[in-house]
Every structure is written in C-alpha cells, then in structure tokens.
Structure 1
C-alpha cells in the first residue's frame, strides 16, 4: 500500500474556551468536500474502490490526517486528499451532522475510567482557564450550545478558527510510495501541495502561551481523590507533574525511572507488595500520550492494581514507593550507569528487531516526529532509542518526586457512598481532600526497606543480533 500523513501543528491547546472541542470538530469538518472535489464522499468512495482507508486524530498540540490506497491510485488519491488543506468547504449544512458525530465519539469515551480520571484531575487540581484544563473531546453542549452564549454558531467559530491556525508554514507531510522514484514523488508533492496557503503567518494566531508553565504550578496538588469507577477492581494512582521533558528525548529520564519502578523481579516494589498480598500489578512511567507529555508539563505516574487488603493499606502501599525512591537517591554512579546502559541496549535491540509497520503507520509516526524533533536524523528513531547518559539530569528527576507534591487517586466501587462530586463533562463521581500532613510526613520519612534494591546485571542481553548463516543444521 501507498500512504501519506499530514500533521498540522495546531490542536486542542489552540482552542477558545467558548467552543471547547473545536480542533476535534475541525478535524471532522475538513473532510466534508473541497472546492475542487465538492462531493463530501469523494475521498471515501475513491478509497473504498481502491483498497484504501483514511482517518485522523486530534492531539493537544497538533492534528494528524492520514490515508492509504493501492499504489497505482496514489497520485489521484493524493490530489483529492490534499484539497482538504488547500480549500475545504466545511459547509454549514454539514455542521450539525458532524457535531453529532463528535458527540457520539464523546459518548463512547465518557465511560472509560482513564478518560474520566483525567477529566477529574483537570477539574479538581489544575488551574482554571489554563489550556491544560480544557475539555478537548467536544460534545453537543460545548460545540452547539456554548457558542450561542456569545451569539455565535459552531459554523462561525470554525470558519474563524481554521484560517487562524491552519497554514502550510507549520504542516509536515510524509509519504511512503515505493514503485516510483523519489524525484517523481517529490514532483507530485510539489505540484499538489504548493497550493496549500501559508496565509503569511509565522505561527498560529491562537498559539498557546507556553510561558504559563504547568497547570499544576502554584496549585496545592497534594490531594487525595476517591473515585467511583465503571470497571470492577481497586487501583491506586500516584502522579507527579514535572517540567516538560520533551526536549530531553536523548536521555529519556522518565523512561529510566518508569523501567526501574515498574520492574517486577526480585527487589522490586511489586515483588514486595505481592508478598504482603497488597497488589498484583504495576504500571509506572510516562505513556507518551499528549496529556502526559507536552510543552507545559510531563507526568510521571505509578498505578497499582490492589487486592482488598491493599485497598485497606493504600497509604502503606505508597510508603513502599517512597522507600524505593529514597533507595534510588543513594544509588551509586556505577549502578546508575550500568542500569542506564542496559535499558539503552534493550531499546536498541527492540528497535533493530521490531516488525515492519504498515505504510500508513510509518507515515503517521514520522510526521509526528517532524514536529517533535528538530534533528532530521531522529525522525525515525527519536521516540524509541536512548542516546546520551546524563547523571545530573537523571538524579534531578527524583527532586520532583516528593511526598509534598503528589496527587493520589483511589478507585473502587467501595467508594460509592462517599463520593459527593460529579465531574462536569463525563459525569465521573469523586471526592477530594488534602493529603493529611501526617500522611505526607510518614511518606517523607519512610525508611529504606532492606527488601528493596535495583535489578542485578542482565547477563542474557544479546551482544550480537546478526543472523548467523553458517551454523550447521541439527
């Protein structure tokens, strides 16, 4: 298959408060025909006849559009698709239908516990009126009803926002099409995409104010949230908001600590908690999702799936975490470098042996990397590989992971009777209180447990991953 992806460096952070979800709505409306191909179904019909598909998604800082099609139809498909960035119609008679489509996606997401907890954090802990605390999904209320309070419609808001935030100056295009030469492919791209307007803009007119810093900054984030989930089971999440780590991709310090904390072998947090019958699963680190890694902040979080006894002892569970962090503070330079190099080697092996992705996924990933990495050499591997060791940077992360600046979320259906707040958008039920000074002090003074230690050297890591062709047959 041949494929293409276009990333527009404008997303949910660029929205206006009076029409939340507008970037997502724009992503839907842009497919509704163009001046050259006015039929709303032109692209879908063309792709369905030629083994292709198309999709898009809206992130906080950008929007990603992509399609694939049979190679012999790529040139024709590229022209139809490109018109959405050249002269989209976004007709008024399509608006209500696409608002309904956005609302349907919201309805499917609103029962997801991850989404609900994120929305609760935005409502209960983040600064109000900060771009991070917005409602990014969009629904009928935010797109159809709210604009009317300022005597506007979703159509008005869309046609005002689109030319302010979509320009060729901050679009990144990737194509993958093997049967033709690079020169021929470049010629096609120049012929088609040279018509995408720049509007003489150097940056989006609704570019967020990055100098605001994190939405958690200056807030009392030492909170205990109890949440009534849709799924069964008990979990506890502890999270820290750190300064943005996006530019430190060569070191990937959050990956380093996620790997160590999430380790499940001898000496690990989970191994200790299993012996206590308090937890049976752990997740640690940063997922890389936009809400956890953006220009405003980076999140490091730990989640445990708890037993009934673990839920009763949730504060002791987290005391073990702080004991482990205290142990890491005393980690020798030799051990820190050894572990870093092992993680680096593991990622290099994973990179070298990973399965080939489909053409469209290659384009999606590379286009996003063009936004994230200034160095073109890292557009293919910058997300995956680790490059540089920086001891000071690694140790500096621990300074942010204290008992005084963490937010804790307990999730269990046991809390049905004690949650008294309903989150505005997704309807998640929760309660919120300050973490007690006694709890914070006990975590800060947690002793280092002798049962906790870092993993020993992994002697089974491959030194040479080349396939040997001269081995005798068995």
Structure 2
C-alpha cells in the first residue's frame, strides 16, 4: 500500500461520497417499501394482541443479534445489517407513547422510567424523568456558556460565577439557606465549569425537591452576587487553583492552553491575582450570557406530576430569555503543530502523549469514528500495538481517546504511552504512525488514482462495534447510565431524541470520516509530541501561572522525514508465517460473543432450592410463586458448607440483565501479614492480570470483567459478565491462575516500582486519607518506601515458590449471583476443583488478625511533610480523626442519620464561612473493623495546625445546632437518611459486590441497612446528642494529622519544634491495639 497524501484527501472523499449517494438512494427506496410492509404486519399483530410495547422507545434486538466485538466475519450479512438499521428506526414510529413530547427517545430495553420533554415559554429545554424507584431526587441545569465566553481581563470569571450562585439570590437572601435546605433533605450539591458550559447539580429527598428546585431556579433569575461574599469566595477559587497546579494531573491541559490561541488558550480556573475587583464584570457576565434559550434542565424523581409543576407553578419560566444565538465556528486552536514538548513532572512516571488536532463537527458524533479508532489502538490483545511495544521494551501501557471533544468544531486525539526510561520518543511515534498506516491499508483499497473504496472489513468491524454498544446499552445498569448532568449537557448540543443514547450508540456508518481522520493522523505536520519526566533538567521555558517547567521544540526536517517514512512502512507486529499472514487487525472468531440473552427461571429447575419437588397447576402459576419467593427470600442461599468450601448463591432477576457476578476467595490458612507476603500477593495479582488481558482479550472485548483484590486472608477474585459463555470465561480465568506464565515478571516489577514511586502524587487530601492516615492508625501498614526496598530484591524464584505453596493448600469461599441456576453454580464450583486438582485438606487455619491502634482518651498530634507534589506546593491538609470503636447497631443508625447533615454543616462552616480551603469534608469511615469519623480540610489560607483549632470550633458550633434541633428538622433529617438507605442498588454488580464484601469479611450483616432504617425511627434527639458528646466533645479519641506541602517546609519545622515543646507527641507504637479477628470458624 502507498500513502495517500493529505492534499488528495478531499478529492478522494468526494468520489467516495458520490458513490455512497447512489447506494443511499437504493437503501431509502428499499427502506420505504420495508416500512410499508412492516406497518401492515405490525397492525395485524397488534389487532391479535401479539405485540405489546410498554416503554417509549426500545431498541429492537433479536436473540441472534451479534452483540459484541470481534465476531466471525460472515455472521452479519449486508441484508441483515440493512434490516437491523431499518427496524431500529421503525420502532420509534410504532412505539406506544407515554408522553407526546418524548416519543422518540432511544432507551435501553430494561429502562422502566417515564420521560417527558418540553420547552418553557422562555426557551428553557426541560426533560423530566419519572423514576418510581428513586428515593432521592436529582436535578441539573446546564448553561451553554463557560470560560471561553469570559473577558480577557478576568480569566476564571465564569468559574467564579459558578461559585457565587450558590451564595443565594434576592428572593432567598438568607446566607446558607440553600445549603441548609439541602442538608436537612439529606442531599448535596455540585457544579463544574468548562470552556463552553457551566453545569449545576443538586440532589435531595423527594419530599423536599419542589422547595429546593424553586430556590435553585433563582440562581439563574436574580442571583444575590453580594460584594461582601466576593472576597471569601475568591479564596475558595484560589484554593482550587493551588490544588490544580500542585500536581501532575493538570499539566497536559495547561500545556494545551499555552500552545493555543484564545479562547482555548485562556487561563480558566481563576486565582487571587486574576480576580481582583470582579464585581462589575460578574454581574455583566451573568446578565449577558445566562439566557434561558441556551439552558437545559433535567429533573429525575418520583415526585408525581413534576412536569406539570415545572410548567405551571415553578419559577423556571422566569429565567430571562436574551435570545442568544449560536456562536461562530471556532478555528483549530493550536498556534503551531509539528512540535515536541518536554515538561517536568513530579512523579516517577515517564509519560509520552502523541496528540493530533482534528476537525470535529457534531455530524460525526453518531459515527463513533474516533472511539472506534481509540479502541483499536489501546486493545491489549496479542500481536496488538501494546503487545509489540512491551515486547520491544519500549512501553508498559497504552491508552487512547479524545480531549476537549464535544464543542462541535475541533478535538484532540491523544495516545498516552507509559514509556520505559531511555526509549526514543520519535521511535515510538514512528511505530504509532505505522500502525495508523496498517489501519488505512486494511480499511480502504485503491481502485485507481482518483478514487478510494472502503473494504468490507471496515464495514464489518464498525458493525461489530455497533452491536457491542447496542447490547451493552440495552442492558445498561445505573452505574453507567447517563447522569442528569450529562443529559442536560446533551440537550444543549444534540436533538433531544439523542439525549440519552448519544454517548453509547453507533448509528451512522461514515467511512469518509474514518478515512479523513486516519489521513490527518498520518500527516507528520499535524502531530504534537508531549514527553513528561521528573528527570528533565535545564528546560528553557517556564510558567509561573501554571508552575510548569517545559520546552517547546519544532520537529526538524529529519524528524519529519522519519515520521513520513513510517507512513509507507507497515509495522510487523507478529510472525506473519506462523499467523498465516493474516491482516494485522483482522479479528479472530470470538467464542465469547453472547447469543442467548434470556432470563433464567426457577420453574425450569423446580428442585433447585428445596429438597422436595414443587408442584404447580401451570407454568404461569409457577412463575407467580417464583416472583413471590424472590420477593420474600432476597438474601443469598448457602448451598455448600464443608471444611474446604463454603458457597452462596442468589438467583437475581430484579435488574433484568442476563449477567452473572462471581466472587471467589482463595483463603490461605496462614495470615498474609509480612511485608514480603503482601508484596508477593501484589506481584501475583499484577502478573496474572497482565496474562489475562492477553489470553482472554476476546472475552474482555465482549464485555466480561475480572478483578483481583489482596487481603490478609489471601486473594479475592471477582468476575462479571454475560451469562452466555460464562462457564468458559470462568474456566479460562482459573486456568490462567493455575498455569501462571512468568514471561513478563520484569515488566511487572517495573510497573509496580512506578506505582509505588507515584503513590504520593495524587491530590494531597486523597493521599492523606489513603496513605498517611492508614500509616498512623494501622499497626501493620507498610509504606511505599518499604515495598520498594523489598521489590528491588524480589526474585522470580520467590514468586514461583509462593504460587506453588499458595494454590496447593487453600480453602474456597464463593458467592454467585445473577442470571444463573443452582446446578450451574455447582458446575462452577466443580471447575475450581478440576483446574486446581483440589482434594480435601485438613490443615488447621490460624485466626487472621488485623491490628488497629487504640486512641481511647488520647489526643494525638502528628505533623508530616508531604512526600509528593512539587517544591512550591503550599497546600496543607488537616485530618482530624475521631475513633469511635467496634460497630453496634445503634451507633451505625446514628452515623447514617447524621452523616450528610454533619458534612453539609462542616462544609458551610469550614469552607463557605471560614474559607479554609476548597476541600472540606466530613465522613464516617471504618478502618479495619473500627468505626471512626474524619473531618478533612485542604487549602492554603491557614497552616494545618490553625485549621485543627477551626475544626474544634466547628464541633462546638455544630453541638449547638444539635441541641437546638427542632422536631420538624429532625423528621426531615430522618426522612433524608432513610431515603438514602432505601435507595436500591444501582446494578447487579453493586448489589452482588456488597453481599460478597460481607461474606468475604465474614460479617454477614446483610440486613444492616434495614436494621438502621428501623432504628432511625426510634432515635430521638437525646440519642444523637449523647453519641456526639461522647465521641466529639467529652472523650475525643482523637488524632490530628497535619500535612504540609513541600513549599511549607520552613513553617513545618517551626510548628514541629513548637509542638514538641508544648505538647507530647505520643509514640504510637506504645499504644494498645484492637484485635479484629476474621476467623471462618465463627460462622
């Protein structure tokens, strides 16, 4: 194949379009005839009561539909594809309509919600989602105006306005009124600002949603924008800025801003320096851009007649309509391409990002061209790009996707590569370019010099992705369902009929866009290569604003020539002889493609859960009793209990998904407590994960998932996927564990070294919670530094010995839930015995002990200097941790009752009123088996030791709030807490993972939520005050963890010296320890 220069692209695309127009005419005529016939058929069927469709729009899918990627090439004939697409659109015409305004929404087949779309008189677009099962209501309002609309003199103004709108309105001027309302309703709020939009979010108990929405509406009608609140809220924005510039996460985004023209090149967060005297511009920006005709509102609740209330009684129609028109087209933002950009990072990661600047009209959104290319790039299958780069010792990982996508004018396509140190960046870029060349070669074929044609293979691979997404969308669980914020965003950019489905479905095959994008990526002048490393020194450029050290270099002619030569060179990623010279991207036959989506029934296995056979008058009678049985018996059933094996099973059909969850715990008789054992478990988990990513890539492509979790008892394995082919998937995973391959041992060690070296590079408050707090409170918590020392001396023989010993003597606890019968569960258990040649063992089991430091009647202060971040990091974090102790039912109920109320008041006092930092959280958290409470503040306004005292002041203030709590307030708080506990699990996976966590931890407190709900009704104000006073006022089993950024090292040394003089820092190793026993014999 020869490279088609970019200059010829338009001519070739024009030819392709002309040819496709002819094809389209035939398809349209055929479709019309088909629709006419189908109408008659459906009318006849409807008359005879054979067709009954309940939801607004259900995506049609026959049982034989190919649902996943990498199927056989001859499965989908062109005729079947044509019929599939016609039926897809036909269903929207004949669907029964719940609401006239939303007849064409494309919804998953398991979606039980009702939808109503309408536009208010002021132009505000509204989508109401009636969810009868929702206990908590949610709402989002998206304004199609953001940072790219603000004046050059006030960068960050749009983001600052987002903060200010939460401070009140002229109709509701009382300070903290909205926050108090939300707190009493057990809810929360959030918002984000992007280049072209600002998106506001709230959730609250359904009983108070109308009141909250009315206050919410006035954010956009008559915001207070009080000058007295400006100064303190600027501090919150500045704290957010300090968090962003102190870590590595935002560095690439900031480099794109440096390289781009305005408005994309504008600084968007805001800071004390950029937001001086912003009051006048703040009012102007709101009045100029906050127009109802560029807003969308989405409300999801079970409140009856919500749509009618919004239309007739709410104040949303009072939002001014300025009749703003769509902005003009944005030009490609980068000032220049063909660049190499080196920048210094804080962490140990050697990161290479290859970026391409592309046109991105919204007309290509339904084709999913770039997501498809990204999936092919980052696939971990054998002989893929990642496999080649790993085997050539060039990289450890590859990812791909779009950046700043969705504005309708441009996007950046990024390929992120975790580079091995010392590898030439250009050599990797050449490999990627050659890979694109392979795609072009297999997707398109030359007919003559003036015309290109796409190959059948391209259409088939696109159709396979289409079917993959269709199946996944049809059975979409609530974890992956579009949020109300995402839907509100979509309503501003796309037709309302696509608001739910636009991010998921492949709907329009556009070979010309695929060709155009690939040729743009093959143009070496269109590339920007970013290389980040902590070892770069003497870089020639810097940014004080972004705290960046970097250097921008134009690619030389020689470098451009090398990239150009890669365009005409096919990258051979595997042995062409052994593979019979198969084309590089040709998918193999995927044996994991599910074809059976049916839901299992106990009526087909009537002796599955009791010993005596069940007798029913009819199958319908059986099904009715089956549903009653499931309603009453919603806990898992223990189906096997021996010394070696304990197994639970639950046929779970509530979510109506043909999927299965399995948890398997390989319990070792000996506790895994030593540093070496813990490291070996981690190395084993990583190695087997890498092996599985190659060996069962087809299953992963088909939607199956696996995860390993280490614990003191051994290895926990979680598997999730389609019920069809699940047995085969399960066995392949077990076989990979049993027959472990050690080829990538050195790469795994290198991955873990990078992981441990970067463990302190996350946001400071997250590192403080996940690392520093555990290091202090847990008696046997090993630091990253200790793991690195052990990793350096770990050899392959130790791992092999560990693997051999571990899987020759283990016991199994398991839980299987979902679309699976008891006999099938027993087949899975048999597979474990078969794969591991498992026989009975009578080795006694030691108690597994988890040690937590006892803080009873202690007031411990621990100051630390942060090990991550850059040398200029002036962030500080204070965590005040209050140890409660072993859980009991009453305490658990009280914690659930006051959690959100407590947090909202902490946020209001510590962040909004005192402006101590952007992060202000209160959480009840378990560490091991011990409950506790943590109040976390991250900011730059005060030193951590000062924040400690502010937290104590807040606790006294909140004590007064609890003492003055009125009965109706307590009732509201109770209703909010109960609603949160009554919220159903979002998915089969969520429910199953929760139950598995209880079984794995040997707790089996499966009814703890129901008990808490019952106890909440019995709790009175006195109970809350006694609990609060015991743990937060009188006893205070307290640890104050005070962490200083590296830019505060001088202050840290002064504070540490002062503390040592004034109060004794207790040596934690001398404290008593709780012993939390996890012994399986306790069952």
Q: Quote the residue 2:279 is aligned against.
A: 155
Superposition pairs of residues 315-394 of structure 1, within 5 angstroms: 315-332=426-443, 333-357=455-479, 362-374=483-495, 376-394=496-514
- Give the Cα separation in 1 of the matches to 2:564 and 2:604: 57
Are the counterparts in 1 of residues 370 and 401 from structure 2 also a CA contact under 8 Å?
yes
TM-score between the two structures when normalised by the length of structure 2: 0.40
Partner of 2:230: 95
Aligned to 2:571: 449
Report the equivalent of 1:228. Answer: 344
* SS of equivalent residue, structure 2 residue 366: coil
Any conservation in 1 of the 2:466–2:507 contact (CA below 8 Å)?
yes
Query: Is 2:435 the counterpart of 1:435?
Result: no
Q: Distance in 2 between matches of 1:284 and 1:116?
A: 17
Greater gyration radius: 2
1:46-445 residue pairs with structure 2 within 5 A?
46-123=181-258, 125-127=259-261, 130-144=262-276, 153-181=277-305, 184-199=306-321, 201-203=322-324, 208-210=327-329, 212-216=330-334, 219-286=335-402, 291-308=404-421, 311-332=422-443, 333-357=455-479, 362-374=483-495, 376-401=496-521, 402-415=523-536, 417-445=537-565
Query: Distance between the aligned counterparts of 2:328 and 2:346, measured in 1?
Result: 36
Cross-structure match for 1:150 = none
C-alpha separation in 1, matches of 2:299 and 2:492: 15
Q: Summarize the Cα distance change of 1:52–1:454 in structure 2 as closer, same or farther, 3 Å threshold.
A: same
* Unmatched segments (≥5 aa) in structure 2: 1-135, 444-454, 575-583, 606-820, 824-1083
Q: Is the 8 A contact 2:396 2:419 kept in 1?
A: yes
Q: Give the distance between the partners of 1:459 and 1:444, measured in 2 at CA.
A: 39
Counterpart secondary structure, 1:429: strand
1:284 shift after superposition: 0.9
Counterpart-to-counterpart distance in 1, 2:464 and 2:544:
45
Q: How many residues align?
A: 447
* 1:170-223 Cα shifts (integer Å, max 9, x gaps): 111111121413xx5322454223443325x2217xx7542x41112xx43111
Whether the aligned pair in 2 keeps the contact of 1:265 and 1:455 (CA below 8 Å) is: no
Check the 8 A contact 1:267/1:455 in 2, yes or no: no
Alpha-carbon distance between aligned partners in 2 of 1:471 and 1:321, rounded to the nearest angstrom: 53
Partners of 2:140 and 2:484 within 8 A in 1: yes
Aligned match of 1:147: none
Q: What is the Cα deviation at residue 353 of structure 1?
A: 2.8
Name the TM-score, length of structure 1 as normaliser.
0.90
Per the alignment, residue 148 of structure 1 pairs with none
Q: Secondary structure at the match of 1:6?
A: strand
Are 1:39 and 2:174 an aligned pair? yes
* CA deviation after TM superposition for structure 1 residue 439, in Å: 1.4
SS of equivalent to 2:464? helix
In structure 1, stretches of 5+ residues that fail to align are 145-152
TM-aligned CA deviation for residue 34 of structure 1: 1.1
What is the CA–CA distance in structure 2 between the aligned matches of 1:39 and 1:231, rounded to whole Å?
Answer: 45
- Cα distance in 2, alignment partners of residues 173 and 260 from structure 1: 36
Give the CA deviation at 1:45. Answer: 0.5
Which SS does the other structure have where 1:37 is aligned? coil
- Residue 314 of structure 2 aligns to a residue whose secondary structure is helix
RMSD: 1.9
Deviation at 1:279, TM superposition (A): 0.5
Question: Are 1:30 and 1:88, in contact at CA under 8 Å, matched by a contact in 2?
Answer: yes
Tell me the distance in 2 between the aligned counterparts of 1:33 and 1:93: 12
The one-character-per-residue Cα deviations of 1:335-379 (angstroms, maximum 9, x if unpaired) are 2122212222222232223321499x73212111101212x2211
RCO higher in 1 or 2 (8 Å CA, sep ≥ 6)?
A: 1
Helix, strand or coil: the match of 2:526?
coil
Q: Any idea what SS the aligned residue of 1:348 has?
A: helix
